[in-house]
Structure 1
Amino acid sequence: MTNPQNRPFPAASRPASRAAAEFAGTFLLVFGLIGAALLTSPDSNGHADQPGTGLLGVALALGLAVTAGGFAFGPISGGHFNPAVTLGTAIAGRLPWGLVPLYVIAQLLGGFAGATTVYGLLSGAQGGTLDTAVAGGFASNGFGALSPGLYDLLPVAAVELIATAVLVFVVLAATHPTKGTPLAPLVIGLTLTSMLFVALPIDNASINPARSIATAIFGGPDWLGQVWVFILFPLVGAAIAALLYPRLFAPREEAAAPRS
């Protein structure tokens, strides 16, 4: 994300501060999303019936987490919390390529920490709550027999590519240095919520390689064997959006400006 002024607002942040912000934001995203998926979405907590929130609760949890993280940590790092967004902003010239590895490593570690924390909470429950969560893939993403709706690879790849491209389009527009909005974190959070309404029944909605890797580690070999889909197609969608954005939406002078 960038400040809707004439420069990116994380420009003066130290690399270590950027990494910490990306770690914290990705932790918040994964902890909120996976915690909601495994704890509040079901109609049972493993011990007693409860009014589950279903897919609505999961979609809102992600949107709220990204919104909160964007407002809290966006001024430090830009608030990507997603390797696909980092790739898109770098291709669009909004982030120096030298910072991309730092961001991605911080995001992967933050996502793993978020999933590990949820795992730790579930391990404290009596009964088979943790075993049930792990047996179900720990809210991991999948296609074919591992898809919630038994969708094949093609629609899963398509929804990941399209949803991530939409996300990156919105990120680049809402955080435009001169035409963006101070409410960019809210706009991006609402976009993710709407994308999850489409993608959750298809493949548990990745749109974020860090989120997919974190949960697949706990889901086990079958889920790890499919995680490449949820790395590749979000990155491809992000790259397409970043390449098309200046040609479709940016002013002529921006499209012609050299990238830093």
Structure 2
Amino acid sequence: MKKLLAEFFGTFWLVFGGCGSAIFAAGIPDLGIGFAGVALAFGLTVLTMAYAVGHISGGHFNPAVSFGLWAGGRFPAKELVPYILAQTIGAIGAGIALYFIASGNSNFAIDNTQAGAFASNGYGHFSPMGYSLEAAFATEFLLTMFFLLIILGATDKFANGKFAGLAIGLGLTLIHLISIPITNTSVNPARSTSQALIAMGEPLLQLWMFWLAPILGAIAAGYIYKTLLQEDSLKNL
């Protein structure tokens, strides 16, 4: 139960901090943090929670990460469903909290006909810069794959584990710097679910892609690391 609570709170913080920065702080004229600020916010949420509760649950905070660690032989299959449920519930809880706070502004409204509604993800006309489904799928697949390679490498028993949280947090920041204009950056199905459920409409209809592409990318990374990279490390001992 402690592991699941850690995943719940970690994912809550990721969505609240990352999506919250996009909803409240990104677009303020002259003072807003913009894309770079949102990217940094997402990285900071993972970095801080990795050190806060990572020692309890492993610090996944993302269904794709759980799948990738399973594929890499680092996580038991029997724990996949409980972890994913805890992560998704935590993300949805954060989405509800963000909506409650945002509703305190009389000018607040969600226009789910526009890209990025309530920090949701999208492709086609719901991509921030109009990128196609194919481009969005490739982006989410590749960036999640590299995110898992960073996680698997940084947490390898031969790596310096003290800096794992820093590498992972900075990795997620870089991922957002690349892909916010393309998909508004998911690489995390729970994060996408929370915002799509609040925005509804087209963001919810497009949600399938933000489960499929990140999970496939994460699984690919797990097998790549286990078969091509981890074995090389062992041979070099």
TM range (shorter): over 0.9
Per the alignment, residue 181 of structure 1 pairs with 161
Larger % of helix: which? 2
When normalised by structure 2's length, the TM-score is: 0.94
Tell me if structure 1 keeps the 8 A contact 2:151–2:164: yes
Per the alignment, residue 29 of structure 1 pairs with 14
Q: Aligned runs of 1:161-172 on 2, under 5 Å?
A: 161-172=141-152
**Structure 1 stretches of 4+ moved >4 Å:** 132-136, 252-255
Letter in 1 for 2:8: F
Per the alignment, residue 153 of structure 1 pairs with 133
Distance 2:36 2:190 in 1: 22
Q: Confirm or deny that 1:228 pairs with 2:208.
A: yes
Per the alignment, residue 63 of structure 1 pairs with 43
Tell me if structure 1 keeps the 8 A contact 2:16–2:98: yes
Distance 2:227 2:178 in 1: 27
Q: Deviations over 1:73-125 (max 9, x none)?
A: 10000000000000011111111111111100000000001111111100111
Tell me if structure 2 keeps the 8 A contact 1:140–1:219: yes
Larger Rg: 1
Unaligned runs of 5+ in 1: 1-15, 44-48, 256-260
Q: Deviations over 1:43-69 (max 9, x none)?
A: 2xxxxx551110011000000000001
Going from structure 1 to structure 2, the CA distance change for 1:176 and 1:133 (only over 3 Å counts) comes to farther
Q: Confirm or deny that 1:215 pairs with 2:195.
A: yes
Per the alignment, residue 119 of structure 2 pairs with 139
How far the C-alpha of 1:183 sits from its partner, in A, is 1.3
When normalised by structure 1's length, the TM-score is: 0.86
Tell me if structure 1 keeps the 8 A contact 2:73–2:222: no
Letter in 1 for 2:14: L
Letter in 2 for 1:17: K
Q: Confirm or deny that 1:77 pairs with 2:62.
A: no
Q: Deviations over 1:15-36 (max 9, x none)?
A: x000000000000000001110
Q: Confirm or deny that 1:51 pairs with 2:31.
A: yes
1:41 counterpart (13, 16, 26): 26
Tell me if structure 2 keeps the 8 A contact 1:29–1:81: yes
Distance 1:133 1:232 in 2: 25
Q: Cα RMSD (Å) of the superposition? A: 1.5
Unaligned runs of 5+ in 2: none
Tell me if structure 1 keeps the 8 A contact 2:112–2:203: no
1:201 counterpart (181, 192, 197): 181
**Identity of counterpart residues, as a percentage?**
38
